[in-house]
Amino acid sequence: MTSFLRPTLCLYLRHNSFMKLLITLFFTFFLGATLFGANDVLEKKRQQAFKKSRKPQKIWRFQGQSLAEQIEDSFFDPKHDYSIFTGRVTDRDGTSSIFKISSENKNIKFFRSGDLVHFRLASKETRNCRCYVRSVEENYFVLFVQDITLCWGSGRYFRRGAMLVFQADILASRVRDASTFRIVLLKRRSSFFKQLNDVNHFVWSYDQEKVTLASEFDEKITKLRAAKQKAMDMLQAKKKDSINLQRELVYRLDHLAEDLEFYRVDKDDPKIDRWHLDHDLGKPVSKRPVKLKF
């Protein structure tokens, strides 16, 4: 059925110019309505964005501890002695000169190779042993004792797993310096957060800022165009007035030239017919006029 109607419809449209015109007008109207509707939607969105840009925007801020609270929470207590802490022997060499110590104290990360450390057995009071830090890793540090018999005795066995009490003045100094530097880092992070807030506010409100800026420049362009048109109109009016003034000045100059010529005063001093004048002056001239010889 469809294959039959299609050629019939084409043949009908080919020979019926009125229907062709009607269908053309219909599609033209439909396309124009579609484009007009799309432009209307875009204009509405632009107006909504412009109205939204006029409203005060909420600026995002870092919702966390204030800088003062973070400084107070810097984990440093001036009353606490950070030079004393405990650890347990996890390994040693055969000569009992190198020991590997495990400790729950997180401040051992501030040790550096060569730092001086004293230790004693935690179970009883013993003589402090003098040693040096050899290396540091997470939750562990390695000590070197040059001669453990000086503080431990020659006949005693230094076993693995022994709990030791350590004392290091250099560690307390480094913990204090680290706490001070942490306050500097907190202030730096607060400054970075402030910069990030400003950047985020600009990025999130870019569309509103774009519409606002475009509206401001559109207003300036409109004013500039009005000023341009006003200046052009004034220039055109000035040109018209200048042409009228030019015509009037030329007319008056012509009349003035005629008046100047009319009121010119001439002296009676003939150049050709003056023989009687020279004769009256007593000049040696003939009694009758003669022809000029040039």
What is the per-residue DSSP string for 182-246? Answer: HHHHHHHHHHHHHHHHHHHHHHHTHHHHHHHHHHHHHHHHHHHHHHHHHHHHHHHHHHHHHHHHH
Distance CA 148, CA 154 (A): 8
The lowest-confidence range among 87-91, 130-134, 213-217, 288-292 is 288-292
The span from the CA of 142 to the CA of 113, in Å, is 9
Mean pLDDT of 255-274: 79
Mean pLDDT of 258-281: 72
pLDDT tens digit string along 109-140?
999 999 999 988 877 666 788 899 999 999 99
Residue 280 pLDDT grade (very low, low, confident, very high; cuts 50, 70, 90): low
What is the average per-residue pLDDT within 274-294? 61
140 DSSP 8-state letter: E
Please name the residues in contact with 175: beta carbons below 8 A apart, sequence gap of 6 or more: 76, 82, 107, 110
Beta-carbon count within 10 A of 111 CB: 20
The stretch 182-198 carries a mean pLDDT of 88
- The domain spans of the chain are 2-47, 84-167
Mean pLDDT (whole number) for 50-60:
49
pLDDT of res. 5: 46
How wide is the angle at C-alpha 86 spanned by C-alphas 83 and 91, nearest 5°? 125
Tell me what the mean pLDDT of segment 224-248 comes to.
94
Task: Report the Cα–Cα distance between both ends of the chain, in Å, rounded.
Answer: 121
* Whether residue 62 has pLDDT greater than 50: no
Winning range, highest mean pLDDT, from 13-22, 84-93, 153-162: 84-93
pLDDT tens digits along 25-43: 655 655 555 545 555 655 5
Higher pLDDT, 50 or 152: 152
How many CB atoms neighbour CB 88 within 10 A?
15
Share of the chain above pLDDT 70, in %: 62
What pLDDT was estimated at residue 45?
Answer: 58
Interatomic CA distance for residues 59 and 64, integer angstroms: 15
Higher pLDDT, 42 or 277: 277
Query: Given this model, what pLDDT does residue 160 score?
Result: 80
Q: What is the mean pLDDT of residues 138-150?
A: 86
Per-residue pLDDT at 220? 93
Whether 217 shows a pLDDT value over 70: the answer reads yes
Q: What average pLDDT does the chain have?
A: 77
CATH of 84-167, one of 3.40.50.1970, 3.40.50.620, 1.10.3720.10, 2.40.30.20: 2.40.30.20
**Three-state DSSP class for residue 82:** coil
Provide the whole-model pTM: 0.50
Q: How does residue 95 score in pLDDT terms, banded at 50, 70 and 90? A: confident
Who's near 61: CB < 8 A, 6+ residues apart? 197
Q: What pLDDT does 250 receive?
A: 94
Mean pLDDT of 262-281: 68
Residue 184: the pLDDT is 86
pLDDT at position 151: 75
Alpha helical stretches, state H, the chain: 2-15, 17-54, 67-72, 149-152, 169-204, 206-262, 275-280
Q: Which residue has the higher pLDDT, 77 or 131?
A: 131
